[in-house]
Structure 1
Amino acid sequence: MKEKITDAKQREKYGKIGSVAAILCNVALAAGKIVAGALTGAISVLADGLNNLADCGSGTVALVSFRMAAKPADKEHPFGHQRVEYVASMLVAFLILVVAFELAKESVGKIISPVAAEFSYLALGVLAASVMVKCGMFFFARTLGKRIDSDVLLALSKDSLSDCVATAVVIASLLVAEFTGFNPDGYAGALVALFVALSGVGILKDTMSKLIGQAVAPELIEEIKARIFAHEEVLGVHDISVYSFGPNKFYASVHIELDASVDVMASHELVDEIEQEFARETNVSLTGHLDPIVVNDPAVVELRKKFGDLVRGLDENYCMHDFRTVIGPHRTNVIFEVAVPFDCKKTDGEIKAEICRAVQETDGGVYTPVVHVERQ
């Protein structure tokens, strides 16, 4: 598989190529189907042509979005403009849904008051060619969309795929009418409208999820961890938060655990070096937080392991970090954070109580746990 393109200028270039190709193909298909539909009186053929005409608008939206998304960050938009592509995908989805509504309305009228459509090999040929062209557009837009990680091109590819299925239904409708005498034109048009609507809803759902704040791919989290752990001084990482501000535009924060006995300036310099490495070599703008870890005190090390094992024993998905102790005359406070998955059904309060009970049963009140639960 070819490497993804992350350079802004290259993404704009390939995005424009994909958008212009979609516009030109849809103009040609719309013209052919509308003419064929008008000559034969087949509402399903005409409806399919109108759908392609709307797809021209979708391609235009995509073309404009790539130009806007490539604009650099400014005072009003300090994180850049790449989320414009998400907005463009939503516009594409709305255009598709409008077309689906109009097609459904026309088809219902055709079902109520059917009109015989003249069978035409011209219409059949235009539709068959359309299926092949749309299949090619689907593979082209999907391949290019994945290569540049573009939601709007992937939306166009899904639309092309639904058009392939919809046009195949229209072809079947014409053949049924010719060889059986039953005219399913209105029903076929309604089925086309259904396929178009499902495509629009799917695109809208995917895009809204990303605008709301969809979690990044787990592979990106693992890549961030691997890069940080490549520095042998790093003892651990936690509290990784990654935010997407558009395709290939990520901001991340992470807590980096380093030996507390090392000079703080040297540790700070290492964190700076890691941040700069991410800036040079990745599309992730990383902010690192230094967490000093005591490794030379056997008692603290033993307690950290003991409580870490205790927490994991309650649930293998629990992860303890930021462990420290405050020793008093009669008891020792053990302070730590526990990361739990978002899908954990227990409340934070229930998890805290569970851990405190386990500590009490194990040590009989010698240690007082101060627990902070965080979801990730």
Structure 2
Amino acid sequence: MKIISNENKKRGGIILISEAIIKKFIKDSENVENEEVRNKYGTVAGIVGIVSNLLLFILKFSIGFLSGSIAITADAFNNFTDMASSAITMIGFKLASMPADEEHPFGHGRLEYLSALVVAFMVMFVGIKFVQTSFERIMNPVAVQFSLIPFILLLCSMAVKFWLGRFNKIVGEKIDSSALKAVAVDAMGDVFTSGCVVLSYLIAKFTAFPLDGYVGIVVSLIILYAGFSLIKETVSPLLGEAPDAEMVDAIVNGLLEYNIISGVHDLIIHNYGVGRCIASVHAEVPCNIDIMEIHEVIDDAEKELSKKLNIHLVIHMDPIAVEDEDYIQTRTELARIIARNEKIESMHDLRIVGKGDKKNLVFDVVVDGDLSHSEEEELKNWVNDEIQKIHPNYNCVILVDKNYVKRHF
């Protein structure tokens, strides 16, 4: 007799079934950093989605045809688009895994996002078509014939869709796939739309009111909303969304662990698909250390962090005068001034040009959000006026930088 542990009971049957499928068809399933393993996850999720949605489409279309319900028929074709979306997502994984070539030196990873975008437009198309069909049903109502067996089958289809949504969520989180996460959200939305259809089918037994067409409108609008949400989610990384805060923290904290690196700024991360990130950053290092020694540390940092975080990291060295008393005093005074202005996050790349009382302070300030040209000039003038209250003959030459990541340096 097989003993089931309390831990497995708590995890639930959905997770256990999902993990059983994963272990059955994916060897070395825990090695999700491996591109081949990740692609197998996409393939398995795609096949499961195609088979499940095809069966649901056949089932619901048959019930809709026999009962004359436009709401059930609309829900059936929603499952049909979900089946197509699983196929497209699976193809997207295959195409995204193609190696880099001369025309695409950073690989084809963004094709995964494009496949999700195609799916989103398909969902929108189905929603628009069934808004039209449902409106026609309201204008020309047709009686819906209730039957117990189809009603029970519809309830079963909701259970299947709920499991499918959870399965895609588990796989999507495991391999960090925005496409599969979107499919999971769409599937859970289908549970709600199917619930509306089941309700209208049940109520049709007790009333002659043409509720079917109105529920069809509701279902269609939910489908449209799901399509719009998918478009929004998939377009964002294609346009160049802000990088993940955890990745930013990992890069910055990782660099600051090296003894000679005292500060980090100008971090920019470009996403060319999951597992295909390129980052560049400026690291502040002491100017009184041998350049070859600094280069060796920076070179090690690039290699070690690139391997650890699965990115391609490029580091620019910014020397700072850590033992110059004039530099330290001036930097401290500027830091106090900048701390009083909420628009300024930080300062970096300070250089002092000139000797004696007349000096130019050349440095960058980092701001969060977009400032207009006039606001930038006001900010520069304010900093310059504040420093001249302390040193009347000093002049500030300021470059305004924008913060491209979700972290304040």
TM-score range normalised by the length of the shorter chain: over 0.9
Instruction: Give the aligned partner of residue 227 of structure 1.
Output: 254
Q: What displacement does 1:126 show?
A: 1.9
- Give a deviation string over 1:328-376, Cα, whole Å, max 9, x none: 465111111101111567832221122112122232x221111111111
Q: What displacement does 1:316 show?
A: 7.3
Instruction: Give the aligned partner of residue 118 of structure 2.
Output: 91
Q: What displacement does 1:161 show?
A: 1.3
Question: Mapping of 1:4-15 within 5 angstroms?
Answer: 5-15=32-42
Q: What displacement does 1:183 show?
A: 2.9
CA contact (8 A) 1:248 1:283 kept: yes
Q: What displacement does 1:67 show?
A: 0.7
The separation in 1 between residues aligned to 2:235 and 2:257, in whole angstroms, is 36
Instruction: Give the aligned partner of residue 8 of structure 2.
Output: none
- Which ranges of structure 1 fall in alignment gaps of 5 or more residues? none
Greater mean alpha carbon deviation, residues 250-259 or residues 338-347: 338-347
The separation in 2 between residues aligned to 1:316 and 1:97, in whole angstroms, is 41
- Give a deviation string over 1:185-243, Cα, whole Å, max 9, x none: 00111111011110000010111111111011112111101111111121111111111
One-letter amino acid matched to 2:393: V
Please point out which of 1, 17, 22 is paired with 2:49: 22
CA contact (8 A) 1:4 1:149 kept: no
**TM-score of the pair, normalised by structure 2:** 0.88
Q: What displacement does 1:308 show?
A: 1.6
Instruction: Give the aligned partner of residue 103 of structure 1.
Output: 130
Please point out which of 292, 298, 310 is paired with 1:283: 310
Matched, 1:66 2:69: no
Instruction: Give the aligned partner of residue 355 of structure 1.
Output: 383
Matched, 1:124 2:144: no
CA contact (8 A) 2:71 2:197 kept: yes
What percent identity do the matched residue pairs reach? 32
Question: Mapping of 1:310-325 within 5 angstroms?
Answer: 310-315=337-342, 317-325=344-352
One-letter amino acid matched to 1:200: G
Matched, 1:157 2:184: yes
* Number of corresponding residues: 375
Question: Mapping of 1:320-359 within 5 angstroms?
Answer: 320-328=347-355, 331-342=358-369, 347-359=375-387
The separation in 2 between residues aligned to 1:38 and 1:280, in whole angstroms, is 56
Greater mean alpha carbon deviation, residues 56-65 or residues 306-315: 306-315
Instruction: Give the aligned partner of residue 228 of structure 2.
Output: 201
The separation in 2 between residues aligned to 1:297 and 1:312, in whole angstroms, is 22
CA contact (8 A) 1:319 1:339 kept: yes
- Give a deviation string over 1:277-320, Cα, whole Å, max 9, x none: 12322211100001111011112111111112211222374201
Instruction: Give the aligned partner of residue 198 of structure 2.
Output: 171
Instruction: Give the aligned partner of residue 336 of structure 2.
Output: 309
- Give a deviation string over 1:245-282, Cα, whole Å, max 9, x none: 11222110011111100011111111111111123222
The separation in 1 between residues aligned to 2:233 and 2:156, in whole angstroms, is 30
CA contact (8 A) 2:338 2:344 kept: no
Give the direction of change, closer, same or farther, for the CA distance of 1:4–1:229 in structure 2 (3 Å limit): farther
Q: What displacement does 1:6 show?
A: 2.7
- Which ranges of structure 2 fall in alignment gaps of 5 or more residues? 1-10, 12-28, 404-409
- Give a deviation string over 1:74-101, Cα, whole Å, max 9, x none: 1111111110011011001011011101
- The DSSP-based 3-state class of the residue aligned with 1:186 is helix
- The DSSP-based 3-state class of the residue aligned with 1:178 is coil
CA contact (8 A) 2:357 2:394 kept: no
